[in-house]
Amino acid sequence: MAKDVAAEESTSTEISLFISLKLDPVFRLVPKFITANEHSASQKQGLYLELFRAVRDAVLSLSNRMEAFITLHTYSQIWVYPYSNKKFAYSPDVDELKEVAKKAVESLGKLYGTQYRYGTGPETIYAYAGGSADWVKETAHVKYSYTVELRPSYFC
């Protein structure tokens, strides 16, 4: 698992936090308060680099006390555990991560009547590189690290 990762963590179509050690020059989603005419690409890159550093530093400084890390997205109803960068790439404790994901999905189903899938990225949707849950698991050594794709609202 590479220590040099990039990830776009979106909580809505309006807000985006770009986490990257090597910033992607193409910013697909820009925070609501920044319009295309307000900042040059280099200024935007600086903003995202500051955001990345703040999140990275917070996670690393708390990692010895963190028991879980969950990043929320709005795409589908999926509970994803590491690793998602390629097929058949699993964390050494995948069985435990899978069991916790299964229990979480079952609990959500009982509470809200939802049907979530669970697994790694390639098992549930597709392989993707640079997910923050993978980075936190690998680099910060947080045992329970998940990406939760929340149920869609107006998209479906």
Catalytic residue among 8, 9, 138, 149: 149
**C-alpha to C-alpha distances, 53 to 15, 37, 73, 112, nearest whole angstrom:** 17, 25, 21, 36
The verdict on 84 and 134 lying in the same domain is yes
Q: Give the total number of structural domains in the chain.
A: 2
The verdict on 83 and 102 lying in the same domain is yes
The verdict on 46 and 81 lying in the same domain is no
The verdict on 129 and 92 lying in the same domain is yes
Dump the DSSP string for 11-55. SSSS-EEEEESS--S--S---TT--TTTS-HHHHHHHHHHHHHHH
The verdict on 36 and 97 lying in the same domain is no
**C-alpha to C-alpha distances, 73 to 10, 39, 54, 133, nearest whole angstrom:** 6, 26, 20, 12
H or E element that contains 111: helix 94-112
CB 142 within 8 A of CB 107: no
Q: Both tokens of residue 23?
A: 């910033």
In whole angstroms, what is the distance from residue 47 CA to residue 127 CA? 28
The verdict on 78 and 143 lying in the same domain is yes
Beta strands in the chain (DSSP E): 6-10, 16-20, 68-74, 78-80, 117-119, 144-150
Residue entry with tokens 């992607």: 24
pLDDT for the residue 105? 96
One-letter identity of residue 137: K
Catalytic residue flag (residue 9): no
The verdict on 29 and 55 lying in the same domain is yes
Range of the domain at 56: 6-62
The verdict on 75 and 136 lying in the same domain is yes
> Residues of the chain whose pLDDT is less than 70?
1-48, 152-156
pLDDT for the residue 16? 31
pLDDT for the residue 81? 97
